[in-house]
Structure 1
């Protein structure tokens, strides 16, 4: 993950993140907009951007400042992939840089006091893509008329906006300043703004008021239904046009660098440059550089072939490492560049012993740390790496990656080194010291130790990895049978406790910093496959699931509470260390490999794309971390 590290200023009670106070360079009019400016259809550039624009002086790629213009084609596999433009655009109140530190972006600055008072300052003169002012009225509208409207938000504000169940005090200080405050620290507030799918705190009020019952009569709203829809409720119509994340309503004003101009459904989506975008380069050019981005819908299995043939100018989605050889070969004639970035995941594939399994015998075994350690040490990760990933991945437990400032080498290696002798000894100690004629160990109730590992992956490498692990575990007398199924059934069986063990991707929180939430490493979420019912208990506030009754795991909740209530770096660091150490020793999940490489196909004409990068959903939104608005056409 990657986040801004609180400095010693916390000890003084506040952190102030100002915009860089430097004079804006002389502004250059964008060539493709010059005629519209000349005709009066658009104001000149100095009237379109904020008085203090975001000035980009660092470029992730080696090509530096570019020139505006050009069209870029990309391939998508589903019309719903219009959301990728929101993800790639990475226009957020606060964003990560390439070193995973947080900075003001849409915001001019923000102040944090005692971890509980947050003052956000907008850029004066900032406008939506339709030229209307972007002000704190857009925040007020969201808070009062959406988050606290019982019809639009029956469950109330998002959990990140609640501390001990209490919402913030929201104060509109002026047109560009808003303050959120709680009685206790809220460690999730700032981080939530920089996510790939952020917690939006604002909406284009001037547009959405037309669809809100507080401002517009129901009969008038009904006339505005998109595509002649005949929704019976105003809320349905409102939600159909409020698609800030999914980016599927061309009429919805945006702050993104490119504006959708195509009405879904379609096979080709065209995005035009936002003439009111808030970033400029150090030469005074308004970003983005690309005039136009086009998404073309093709079948998923055709994306690698078309990308290799040069039919995509910039492609990362729907490519895998298995496509690399073909892409490199194709590049000899198409002349595309094939880059390899590091994927962000604690483990490409991890095994999750279900500590909440219904089967009492297996539940007892899964809860015995010696059993979990034995299974982990029986995995030959070097063999997996060579056979499945041709040696291009890194053997590791399911933990954070070296890019994180919190990483320690032992997190990746402890109980994750191949040692059959030690694994066999631990299994004997557990009581699995008897075997049948096939050499399979016998459970205390006499059944053979056959572990059915359930998974929902359609990736062939995952199935191959499970097959190889089955061969490896057989050497310690454990039989593994893999059971593929639909994702819905997979989740249902894991959450209910019917699944003894599951296989899925590793931790998403792969590159955390002190400000990153450690929740994923604690029994707090139903989606935690090693402890789904304990997580359900926390998520439902005790109404469903089961209270964690395993002391080794329950203490993680204490460590998490320490992190959540901390107001200094030292306390946060200690909590993170305790959580990671506990996960390392207890082996709640069994990691295999991480650092798998992600192919990125780039046309020769596209400049400023980094040769090496970090590719993950969060932080950064795939290529979004590297500001695609600074990529340009030569």
Structure 2
């Protein structure tokens, strides 16, 4: 499509929708780019947009089209948190909308056949942030020159690009169309592309070639290696190509804002991408906001800084316990505080380690009656009232009502307060003897003292455990809290030294059938209830130990069935069986879910929803609500 056809598209767009009420001096061009446009450093808007931009109809979403301009201040707890711009900016080949359905974004369209063959069509005329065209060559470069390069990727393509043990066949159909084909279904492919840390399948090849041995002169490449203070050309290529944590300001991007400052720094400035591919219903290029300024501070004082009016948009670094303080700050500063629903299966969960090295505790925890007794012995209503003002849902660790997979019986499974039944189950197991303090004795004569370990990053976890301590005392169990740093805590858990830990519940409690159910089966070494089984899955049987509990074995089998499934109906049936097993077996002990996350914004900042779902995956923090559509109302 030519520039004339692009102008025709925008003209039809403007004539088909109600005109935007704008000030006389406003145009479709962002004022922030005025000097570069005047100097001829940038082409006009018609030549910066794809031939068919992505249209974001804000009116249909219940929001108002906005105006360009303004700088948003945010506070981050460390330099690594610049990744929040990649997550919140949420620009993906395909991405979730607010209903958690996949939509083309950077892609103009995509087609899939039996979840085996995926054809991606780019938007002709789409450009990287430096103005260079985005084409199929950028996909070819990543496939052939990165993934298949034995020095850059000794392990070859990642697991999510393998199906039936084989990688895809990659094809370039034309300049703007590529295809990935497998012999067997790969239902994980699209969800991984839409993830917070998306599966990379392309890079700006025109820029990255200068760091690749295949395209760069050896002398020049050696000089670049020394300049960037790395050891090998492969380290150089990796360093310069990071997209999730955008540390290289020169790396072209497709995101709404691009970083302009390399670390180390105390402040990072992200400027608007002049070639961004989205427009509102009036043809106005997104994003509306010109700049994000991220100020590095201590995580411990982010809430204090936010309450002092030092942020225009702040989510990270805030907890529900900050809500009263932040709400009071509304009286002194022009800020607005909202509460969104967190998407974890449980805000706090207790995880008995079924792989702990203590044989007595391991045997007890692998008995479902023990896990059920522990869950029945917790008074969730008291915890909800005391720590969450009654705003949460008392629940097992499971799906939220917002998920199409939700069932009320999952929420109540072994999650009502019933100390009499808990005591009966513990007696049935054989823990009938008690010491002089009323604490049950283990089969080897030790008192039943459960040491719950925590990373010590949340006072809320400690507050919950103190209440659980009282509850479990009523069923003859003694609870002690041990705090350690996160890295040490994880290493101890994987080594079997931790018998029980406290963490969050399921990461994604708003799942759809087409999202991978890894969280319900032993599949990762950071799952504290079965780390050795998770390591075994990750290493394909080379490390750790295979599950020896029938229900856990079934979960792994169902997970493998999901990865080979070819229809949503099949995947729904798999999810349903997995959720049923996970809830009935109480592999993690949930307490409450639907907890609230404070969202603080300037009172002038528009299009920030009053209510929303907040979490990492799949909502990408603010991402599915499209921060590129947020705008400052200077008339407010």
TM-score, normalised by the number of residues in structure 2: 0.94
Q: Deviations over 1:321-358 (max 9, x none)?
A: 11111111111010310111111111111111111122
SS at match of 2:331: helix
Question: Could you say which residue in structure 2 is the equivalent of 1:6?
Answer: none
Residues 323-402 of structure 1: pairs in structure 2 closer than 5 A: 323-402=322-401
- Going from structure 1 to structure 2, the CA distance change for 1:374 and 1:282 (only over 3 Å counts) comes to same
Question: Could you say which residue in structure 2 is the equivalent of 1:429?
Answer: 428
Q: Deviations over 1:232-287 (max 9, x none)?
A: 31112222211211111111100011121123221121111111100000011000
Question: Could you say which residue in structure 1 is the equivalent of 2:100?
Answer: 100
Is the 1:222–1:230 Cα contact (8 Å) retained in structure 2? no
Q: Deviations over 1:414-462 (max 9, x none)?
A: 1000001111111111111111111011112221111111221320010
Deviates more, 1:460-469 or 1:520-529: 520-529
Residues 96-135 of structure 1: pairs in structure 2 closer than 5 A: 96-135=96-135
Is the 1:398–1:591 Cα contact (8 Å) retained in structure 2? yes
Question: Could you say which residue in structure 2 is the equivalent of 1:260?
Answer: 259
Residues 6-405 of structure 1: pairs in structure 2 closer than 5 A: 24-25=13-14, 28-58=28-58, 63-225=63-225, 228-405=227-404
- Going from structure 1 to structure 2, the CA distance change for 1:592 and 1:178 (only over 3 Å counts) comes to same
Q: CA deviation at 1:229?
A: 3.2
Distance 2:235 2:561 in 1: 41
Q: CA deviation at 1:144?
A: 0.8
Q: CA deviation at 1:155?
A: 1.5
Distance 2:74 2:562 in 1: 41
Aligned Cα root-mean-square deviation (Å): 1.7
Distance 2:259 2:184 in 1: 41
Q: CA deviation at 1:63?
A: 4.2
Is the 1:59–1:608 Cα contact (8 Å) retained in structure 2? no
Distance 1:576 1:21 in 2: 44
Distance 1:64 1:501 in 2: 49
Distance 1:222 1:245 in 2: 26
Deviates more, 1:510-519 or 1:448-457: 448-457
Question: Could you say which residue in structure 2 is the equivalent of 1:540?
Answer: 539
Is the 1:61–1:609 Cα contact (8 Å) retained in structure 2? no
Distance 2:243 2:568 in 1: 34
TM-score, normalised by the number of residues in structure 1: 0.94
Q: CA deviation at 1:224?
A: 3.3
Question: Could you say which residue in structure 1 is the equivalent of 2:459?
Answer: 460
Is the 1:173–1:179 Cα contact (8 Å) retained in structure 2? yes
- Going from structure 1 to structure 2, the CA distance change for 1:415 and 1:258 (only over 3 Å counts) comes to same
Question: Could you say which residue in structure 1 is the equivalent of 2:469?
Answer: 470
Q: Deviations over 1:48-79 (max 9, x none)?
A: 11001000003698541001111111111212
Q: CA deviation at 1:31?
A: 2.8
- In structure 1, the gaps of 5 or more residues are 1-19
Distance 1:243 1:562 in 2: 33
Deviates more, 1:398-407 or 1:566-575: 566-575
Is the 1:399–1:507 Cα contact (8 Å) retained in structure 2? yes
Is the 2:10–2:283 Cα contact (8 Å) retained in structure 1? no
SS at match of 2:229: coil
SS at match of 2:583: helix
Distance 2:189 2:421 in 1: 45
Q: Deviations over 1:64-106 (max 9, x none)?
A: 1001111111111212221111111100001111111110000
Distance 1:272 1:168 in 2: 37
- In structure 2, the gaps of 5 or more residues are 1-8, 16-26
- Going from structure 1 to structure 2, the CA distance change for 1:543 and 1:22 (only over 3 Å counts) comes to farther
Question: Could you say which residue in structure 1 is the equivalent of 2:5?
Answer: none
Q: CA deviation at 1:304?
A: 1.2
Higher relative contact order (CA 8 A, sep 6+): 1
Q: CA deviation at 1:569?
A: 2.6
SS at match of 2:124: coil
Residues 389-538 of structure 1: pairs in structure 2 closer than 5 A: 389-538=388-537
Is the 1:60–1:609 Cα contact (8 Å) retained in structure 2? no
Is the 1:562–1:571 Cα contact (8 Å) retained in structure 2? no
| Count of aligned pairs | 614
Q: CA deviation at 1:163?
A: 1.2
Q: CA deviation at 1:222?
A: 3.1
Is the 1:62–1:610 Cα contact (8 Å) retained in structure 2? no
Deviates more, 1:246-255 or 1:488-497: 488-497
Q: CA deviation at 1:23?
A: 5.0
